[in-house]
Amino acid sequence: MLGGWNLGVRNLAAIAGIGIEEYLRDPEQGVMRANRALDVDGMVPPTVPRDLASIRAGHVEESSFAGVEPEVLQQRGERVPDTEQKVQAKVDVEAVEEKYRQHFESMLKLMGDIVLIPTIWPAVTDFALYFQYGYEAFLAATALYPEEVERIWWEDSIIARERNKIIVRLYREYDLVPMLFCGHDICVNRGPLCSPEYLHQSYWLHAKRSIEPFVEEGIRVLHHCDGNVMPLIDDMIVAGFSGFQGFQYECDVNPYELRQRRSLKGETPLLMTGLSVTRTLPFGTEQEVRDEVDYMLDYTDGGQGMFLFTSNVTGVEVPPENIVAAYRYLAGYDVRKTTPRGKRAWPWGVAHPGQSTN
């Protein structure tokens, strides 16, 4: 059972069994108390809300990119050095090592006996250029200047690979669990932001280059999955990913199909399975939440390679009782005494057919 992505000061204080004022005096410890109350085994580096007005994290407001034109990406692509050696020279080895050494030491100290699940978003080539330029300019650039956008990804893959070589050494030094959680939001509810054909030709080769140090070390790399990622799964596997996190069942993501895939090394995929943050957790009953945990256990053949997690960060609209219900249910579950029920439909979609899709 994994934690780290539950938000809302009131929710976290309630889960932790403390008052709001006590939480706000030390938000980091408040988050840790909430996750210890959930009896989690591991955590991603937690998102820590620090005030009552904090609602979400990691969102993009297109209005903040007014006036940004796609030519900005074109010009950046044209400035990319012409050799791999020149790109490698941009990596400050000592600075990278110091940054991630401090990160791992601070996280390990914060978590104590809870296992750190390393989460490093820049580990894979940065698809999400929309965080820097906005969606409109980024998507227009992929259509108008695809070669220049690919050059940006090529450069970033080389920098990421060199950085990841250093991080792999730190994995050994700190004896970290051999997992890495990363990946960018590449899809919306209908499917990929860019055509799968374009991404196949222009992105995934560079993603593969970036995470090679982890794959070669035997570290399992899991990709974050928002929206309908099914058209991209094969390319993710060829790039070296051997696990997935998220799963918006309402977007036609088929967890049974994901479970049947195999990594390049023949491994059954690891699944950081998604308690639905758009349907079941915010709007379901505690029993519906438990039913969703049963569904996860079924599609992982009794929990093999399964980590209980949320499909994304939970918002303030999620009743904390629903989060507690999921974790307490699995904590008391004995998979040895239960036979998986085989392939079946997502329980929420069956119970609420008019609300199951976007």
Interval 70-96 mean pLDDT: 98
Position 102 pLDDT exceeds 60 = yes
pLDDT confidence bin for 53, thresholds 50/70/90: confident
Strands (E) located in 207-347: 220-225, 243-246, 270-275, 306-310
The predicted structure's pLDDT at residue 335:
80
pLDDT above 90 coverage of the chain, percent: 92
- Quick one: pLDDT at residue 342? 85
The reported pLDDT for the residue numbered 60 is 79
CATH code for the domain defined by 69-355: 3.20.20.210
Residue 245 contacts residue 309 (beta carbons within 8 Å): yes
Instruction: Report pLDDT for 325.
Output: 98
Among 56-60, 94-98, 195-199, where is mean pLDDT lowest? 56-60
Q: How far apart are CA 221 and CA 318, in angstroms?
A: 29
Residue 260 tokens, joined? 């049947």
What was the pLDDT predicted at 355?
Answer: 67
Residue 357 has pLDDT above 90, yes or no: no
Residue 336 has pLDDT above 90, yes or no: no
For the chain, what are the domain ranges? 69-355
> Where does residue 303 fall: left (phi above 0), alpha (psi -120 to 50 degrees), or beta otherwise?
left
Name the percent of the chain lying above pLDDT 70. Answer: 98
Confidence band of 328 (pLDDT split at 50, 70, 90):
very high
- Express each pLDDT in 194-242 by its tens digit: 999 999 999 999 999 999 999 999 999 999 999 999 999 999 999 999 9
pLDDT confidence of 55, banded at 50, 70, 90? confident
CB atoms within 10 A of CB 143: 12
How far from the centroid of its chain's Cα atoms is residue 215's Cα?
18
Q: Is the pTM of this model over 0.75?
A: yes
Beta bridge partners of 187: 192
Q: For residue 334, how far is the Cα from the chain centroid?
A: 28
Query: Tens digits of per-residue pLDDT, 239-269?
Result: 999 999 999 999 999 999 999 999 999 999 9
* First vs last C-alpha separation in the chain: 28
Per-residue confidence band for 337, with pLDDT thresholds at 50, 70 and 90? confident
Q: What is the mean pLDDT of the chain?
A: 95
Average pLDDT of the segment spanning 8-18: 97
Q: Which residues contact 118 (CB under 8 A, 6 or more apart)?
A: 104, 171, 176, 177, 179, 180, 181
pLDDT of residue 117: 98
